[in-house]
Amino acid sequence: MTEHFTQGKSGYINAIGTDGEPLSFRPQVNIIRDVPGTGTVEMTVGNGATVVVQGSAAEYLEYLDPTPVEPQPPVDITNGRLRIQPAGSAIAFQLDNDDPRGDWQVYVIGSETMYFTTNEDNPDITSWPYLRVDTGE
């Protein structure tokens, strides 16, 4: 993201000139070079006119073709408490230790069946793979 270049109307690029005034130009730049020590960039645009604006050549090029942002790994909103049966027929949510209903709340996929169980009654649930849930934020 750049602070000196923004998208204008009708395909124009908005920038700030060396005098601090707004400036718009088409993104048909033939020559681009930094003006050393000034924090500005000189561009020769499509019609041959020279435009000097705040920013840098690298910043302008980044504006035109942004570097892809690597996606962050998903955040598991269940904190490792959600498991899926290996065949994919059920998911189990680990309940709090002091929950009187048991250790797991199990949902059978594709039905309305839901039940509570304990590690003693269904010890295989602890070996089911974890199921991560991402909020998409």
Instruction: Report yes or no on 1 lying in a domain.
Output: no
Q: How many domains does the chain have?
A: 2
Domain-embedded: residue 95 = yes
Output the pLDDT for position 106: 95
Q: What does the H/E/C string look like for 68-93?
A: CCCCCCCCCCCCCCEEECCCCCEEEE
110 and 51, same structural domain? no
SS3 16: strand
**What CATH code is carried by the domain that includes residue 30?**
2.40.50
Do 56 and 75 belong together in one domain?
no
Residues 83 and 137 in one domain: yes
Q: How far is Cα 132 from Cα 38, in angstroms, rounded to an integer?
A: 50
Q: What is the pLDDT of residue 114?
A: 95
Burial of 15 (0-12, 13-18, 19+ CB in 10 A): buried
Comparing 101 with 27, the larger pLDDT belongs to 101
Do 130 and 75 lie in one domain? The reply is yes
pTM of the shown model: 0.43
Parallel, antiparallel or unpaired: strands 22-25 and 82-84: unpaired
Q: Does residue 109 fall inside a structural domain?
A: yes
Please work out, in degrees rounded to the nearest 5, the angle formed at the alpha carbon of residue 41 by the alpha carbons of 35 and 46. Answer: 125
37-96: pLDDT as tens digits: 999 999 888 777 888 999 998 888 888 887 777 666 566 667 778 899 998 899 999 999
Our measurement of the distance from residue 119's CA atom to the centroid of its chain's CA atoms, rounded to an integer in Å, reads 38
53 and 109 share one domain = no
| Residue 75 CB-half CA count within 13 A | 4
The pair of structure tokens assigned to 21 is 């005034």
Q: Range of 98's domain?
A: 71-137
Q: How confident is the prediction for the chain on average, in pLDDT? A: 85
Please tell me whether residues 75 and 59 are part of one structural domain: no
Does residue 135 carry a pLDDT above 80?
no
Task: Report yes or no on 46 lying in a domain.
Answer: yes
